[in-house]
Amino acid sequence: MKLLYSIYKEYKVLIRDKAGLAIIFLMPTVLIFIITLIQDSTFKSVTEASVPLLIVDRDNDSLSITLQKSLEKSHFFHITKKFISNQEAKNEIANGKYLIGIVIPEKTSENLRIKSADRISTLLNNFTGDTAKPVNPIDTSHLKLQLYFDPITKSSFKTTISNSISSIISQIEMQNMMISLNNKMLENFPYSNPKPLNTAPLVTTSEEYASFNNSTIIPNSVQHNVPAWTLFAMFFICIPLAGNIIKERTDGSAFRLLTMPGSYIYVIFGKMITYIIINLIQFALMLCVGLFILPLLGLPQLNVGDNFFVLILVAFSAGLAATGFGLLVGTISNSHDQASLFGAIFVIILAAIGGVWVPTFVMPSMMKHLSVISPLNWGLEAFYGIFLRNFGLKQILPELIKLWMFFVLTTIGSFLYQKKIRMK
Amino acid sequence: MESFVEIKNLVKKYKNTSNVAVDNLSLTIPKGSVFGLLGPNGAGKTTFISMLCGLFKPNEGSIFINGKSMQTHSKECKQIIGVVPQEIALYPTLTAWENLIFLGHMYGIKTQELKIRITNNLKLLGLYDHAHQKISTYSGGMKRRINLIAGLLHNPELLILDEPTVGVDVQSKQAIIDYLKKLNTEMGMTILYTSHHLSEAEEFCSNIAIIDSGKIITQGETKLLISENNCDSIEEVYLKITGNKFRD
């Protein structure tokens, strides 16, 4: 009964604290909206078609057509075709309008065909002993494709794009060679009736995301920001929770409650249970935002995976860690101002380290290693496991144990501080 | 007269300070008495009350309440103590009724019985009509009266009052004192009372102790203390013993 009435009292106090409710529910909702929208394009650049590419096609023949089709098929580029000079193309890239520019010179396809035929003729003549020079000497300068890159492009990205384009061109070259060989053989054996030559690649690669249950979910801004900012909000309740504890201490309520037989422990547990319930409501609300509201803004829908029980368990464990932290802040702080400042700064630092603001996969190596000290990172990794990798309880257990340990340590720390320092 | 509270050689030193907050203090509070504990600021009254309520442990000495040691039987001792702190120790956003229901349950009182006690107390102190108003809307005097009721819900045998009438109007002060007198005479409740209102203490308390620098300087029956010191009032006794020096 004592515990129930303590929870009921906390509920009444909280429900009438409009500013506290705004911090608890409104702040994370607004943050999820804003940050998800801001980061959406950044995440897309890592995952989806969004690289603006300019093609200046003066060839307008097989090579340029095949190259453009291959680039379109990759779903990695947003292609714009223009008929402008090299200098104009360079200027457009330099202005940042496009990330990459490709200039395909006039008659590139035609010259490629001639050069391919010439090479095949030379090769076959070597077998027949006819070493006469080719009739049409090739001007190789016409076969040079010009690539322009925006200076902000990272060298690794530049290399990847260059290699991809070279690979496509090599394939076209090879196809031309095979066609030339086919034609030459037909010249030498006019009465044969060969089947059309298959120029399709002999070796292909198969790609898929390595995940359980064949899940192939690609991380996007919703998948990152919804759990990240939910965890941030969960830990941010340390401010109202600590404020609540300090207020009771300064207005004499704690004094009165401590003089009652065994009651203060019920009051503290009542607070913790109330705030864990608040954390779970926050989590449910943010999940709804990701599932139903963000898609209305043109953002991807949150995929919550299949393990709903494990998802609730992670939210509950994060809630335990957050309330333990709030309890510690409230116990060691001497004033509401001190708790607000210390709590807010500490949560922001833990969030920054833990990959809430900037995901850990884009962090420098040193920061990636440092991120494992943040309880927000443990929660985030557990959510990633469920959302992106379809992990079960077994796989995320290490993260859950860390959150439970954090709760146990902060709670013990609070009780020890209360007993050894405040009541001495 | 049978003693209700027995304090023997109580010592309390806070960490990181050289001062002794309570220095070898011995005191007896007779059962059914209204005992006034008077003293200047920083004399050690709050530290003493905190130890008496079981909030702080003394470095030395013993506290017996109704024959039971606070150090070894704190739960039983706390059950018979009611505390009315100097601060308005209530939740301002809750109504008076909600505050009292919560605090009553923390004392382990059954809901039905608790509602009867709250109703009776609110009626006696003239607050029944305001029971469902938030504490934040109350006047200073109304808050003090609710603060008093909160300490009485479990019918304590010893009521500890720390400045119960500070900052209230004459009417509220009179209502509080009258109610306390009633509790003392009709229910035999032992009351420990601290205040800077010396005339109020003189009128209200049967016994008085004056504390300074953590030590009891004098104690006894109120009238006897005045006559033994050849004074006309307890205020004169107080100034004679503690002096005119500021205690900031």
Dihedral angle over CA of A212, A215, A218, A220, nearest 10: -100
User: Which tokens hold the place of B46?
Assistant: 């709050």
Looking at chain A, the whole-number percentage of residues with pLDDT higher than 90 is 29
Residue numbers in A near B55 (CB within 8 A): 255, 258-259, 423
Q: Is A314 helix (H, G, I), strand (E, B) or coil?
A: helix
User: Which tokens hold the place of A362?
Assistant: 């884009």
**pLDDT (tens digit per residue) in A4-33:** 999 999 999 989 988 888 888 888 888 888
| Adjacent-strand bridge partners of B192 | B35, B160
> Among B106, B132, B162, which would you mutate to test the A interface (most chain A Cβ atoms within 10 Å of its Cβ)?
B106
Q: Is A215 a residue whose pLDDT tops 60?
A: no
Look at residue A139 in the predicted model and tell me its pLDDT. Answer: 55
Q: Which residue of B has its CA nearest to A248?
A: B89
Looking at chain B, the whole-number percentage of residues with pLDDT higher than 90 is 48
CB pairs under 8 A between A and B: 83
Interface list for chain A against chain B, based on CB atoms closer than 8 Å: 1-2, 5-6, 8-9, 12-13, 16-17, 250-253, 255-263, 266-267, 423-424
Lowest mean pLDDT among A96-105, A113-122, A229-238: A113-122
Lowest mean pLDDT among A183-192, A352-361, B53-62, B152-161: A183-192
Lowest mean pLDDT among A231-240, A281-290, A413-422, B85-94: A413-422
Query: Which one has a higher pLDDT value, B196 or B110?
Result: B110
Distance of alpha carbon A361 from alpha carbon A179, whole angstroms: 46
User: Which tokens hold the place of B8?
Assistant: 């023997």
Look at residue A205 in the predicted model and tell me its pLDDT. Answer: 76
Q: Is A74 a residue whose pLDDT tops 80?
A: no
**pLDDT (tens digit per residue) in B200-216:** 888 889 999 998 888 88
Closest CB to B89 among A17, A255, A423: A255
Looking at chain A, the whole-number percentage of residues with pLDDT higher than 70 is 89
Closest CB to A5 among B86, B91, B105: B105
Query: Which one has a higher pLDDT value, A219 or A145?
Result: A145
Task: Give the closest-approach CA distance of B143 to chain A in angstroms.
Answer: 13
What mean pLDDT is reported for chain B? 89
User: Which tokens hold the place of A396?
Assistant: 């995320």
Residue numbers in B near A245 (CB within 8 A): none
Q: Is A207 a residue whose pLDDT tops 90?
A: no
Q: Is B186 exposed, middle or buried (0-12, 13-18, 19+ CB in 10 A)?
A: exposed
Q: What is the mean pLDDT of residues A291-311?
A: 86
CB B21, CB B214: distance < 8 Å: yes
Interface check B101 vs A, CB under 8 A: yes
Residue numbers in A near B50 (CB within 8 A): 255
Look at residue B156 in the predicted model and tell me its pLDDT. Answer: 92
Task: Give the closest-approach CA distance of A263 to chain B in angstroms.
Answer: 6
Look at residue A216 in the predicted model and tell me its pLDDT. Answer: 47
Interface check B115 vs A, CB under 8 A: no
Q: Is A340 helix (H, G, I), strand (E, B) or coil?
A: helix
Per-residue DSSP letter, A306: S
Distance of alpha carbon A234 from alpha carbon A316, whole angstroms: 10
Distance of alpha carbon A198 from alpha carbon A190, whole angstroms: 20
In A289-354, alpha helices (H): 308-332, 336-354
Q: What is the mean pLDDT of residues A324-335?
A: 93
Residue numbers in A near B91 (CB within 8 A): 9, 12-13, 253
Q: Find, among B183, B152, B121, B128, the residue nearest to A256 by Cα.
A: B152
Q: Is A317 a residue whose pLDDT tops 90?
A: yes
Distance of alpha carbon A46 from alpha carbon A12, whole angstroms: 46
Look at residue B8 in the predicted model and tell me its pLDDT. Answer: 93
| Adjacent-strand bridge partners of B37 | B194, B209
Phi, psi of B12 (to 5 degrees): -140, 120
Q: What is the mean pLDDT of residues A250-257?
A: 87
Element (H, E) at B12: strand B3-13
Q: Is A214 a residue whose pLDDT tops 90?
A: no
Interface check B14 vs A, CB under 8 A: yes
User: Are the beta carbons of A259 and B103 separated by less than 8 Å?
Assistant: no
Look at residue A349 in the predicted model and tell me its pLDDT. Answer: 94
Q: What is the mean pLDDT of residues A340-369?
A: 88
Lowest mean pLDDT among A143-147, A266-270, A353-357: A143-147
Q: Is A53 exposed, middle or buried (0-12, 13-18, 19+ CB in 10 A)?
A: buried
pLDDT confidence tier of residue A97, bands split at 50, 70 and 90: confident
> Among A6, A9, A418, A423, which would you mutate to test the B interface (most chain B Cβ atoms within 10 Å of its Cβ)?
A9
User: Which tokens hold the place of B242?
Assistant: 């503690």
Per-residue DSSP letter, A295: G
Q: Find, among B69, B84, B97, B60, the residue nearest to B195 by Cα.
A: B84
pLDDT confidence tier of residue A378, bands split at 50, 70 and 90: very high
Q: What is the mean pLDDT of residues B226-240?
A: 86
For the question of an ipTM over 0.85, the answer is: yes
In A74-154, alpha helices (H): 86-94, 108-128
Query: Which one has a higher pLDDT value, B56 or A128?
Result: B56
User: Are the beta carbons of B105 and A2 separated by less than 8 Å?
Assistant: yes
Query: Which one has a higher pLDDT value, A140 or B59?
Result: B59
What mean pLDDT is reported for chain A? 84
Task: Give the closest-approach CA distance of B46 to chain A in angstroms.
Answer: 11
**pLDDT (tens digit per residue) in B91-132:** 999 999 999 999 999 988 999 999 999 999 999 988 999 999
Task: Give the closest-approach CA distance of A273 to chain B in angstroms.
Answer: 16
Phi, psi of A277 (to 5 degrees): -60, -40
Residue numbers in A near B109 (CB within 8 A): none
Q: What is the mean pLDDT of residues A145-173?
A: 83
CB A252, CB B166: distance < 8 Å: no
pLDDT confidence tier of residue A44, bands split at 50, 70 and 90: low
Q: Is A275 a residue whose pLDDT tops 70?
A: yes
Residue numbers in A near B85 (CB within 8 A): 252, 255-256
